[in-house]
Structure 1
């Protein structure tokens, strides 16, 4: 009667007709997911690259002081 390929085509057409309202939303969310995955993969690759130093902005604390940028009193070592 019907082969497997004909049944598959009929099912795809039926699903497309019944879910026509949801297809643009599904495609949009799939695109967002692909972009997020690509960005995360790129970030992971960049983290693993030891040649590029990682700079974290912030305050400098000089050893032996409590205050940022080396200001403050010296702490006695015990």
Structure 2
């Protein structure tokens, strides 16, 4: 259910009465800054989810260092 025009106007009047006309610009500014911070944090989280670059994607063309895989369950591993 979407709010009607009168409901929005009534809500704005209540907010104006609660906070006063002098505090509304500061309140709007702080809400805007909070939304900007939230937007950058969400973007950083989305960037963290991207896979690592392949050697072709790296500017120096170097391959990332590979770590050896752990031995399989039945494999005793390398003999010393």
TM-score when normalising by structure 2 = 0.46
Between structure 1 and structure 2, the one with the greater Rg is 1
